[in-house]
């Protein structure tokens, strides 16, 4: 059990907690991006390069952008009563 593996697991646990504890949704979108990068580094260390490709494209680019687009829509939308 190398130190690098333990460090990556602890890092992912920390960023995962950061996603939940970021209560404001705009800040949470950035926390999700950081969590995605940490997860993909963990997947590289666990010898899974395919999975790391998926996670970095999805978790660091696509999901935070969808979150931010939805937040903009929520702010500028006037609900029909």
State the residues that interact with other proteins by CB under 8 A.
Answer: 1, 5-6, 9-10, 12-13, 16-17, 19-20, 22-25, 28-29, 31-32, 35, 39, 42-43, 46-51, 53-55, 57-59, 61-63, 65-67, 69-77, 79-81
Between CA 20 and CA 8 the distance in angstroms is 19
Task: Give the contacts of 33 (CB within 8 A, at least 6 positions apart).
Answer: 59, 60, 61, 64
* Beta carbon of residue 15, minimum distance to other proteins (angstroms, whole number): 9
Between CA 65 and CA 36 the distance in angstroms is 13
* Beta carbon of residue 37, minimum distance to other proteins (angstroms, whole number): 12
């Amino acid at each position: 059990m190398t130190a690098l593996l333990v460090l990556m697991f602890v890092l992912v646990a920390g960023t995962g907690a950061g996603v939940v504890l970021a209560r404001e949704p705009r800040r949470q979108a950035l926390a999700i991006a950081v969590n995605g990068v940490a997860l993909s580094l963990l997947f590289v260390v666990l010898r899974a390069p395919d999975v790391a490709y998926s996670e970095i494209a999805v978790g660091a680019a696509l999901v935070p952008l969808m979150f931010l687009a939805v937040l903009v829509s929520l702010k500028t939308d006037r609900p029909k009563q």
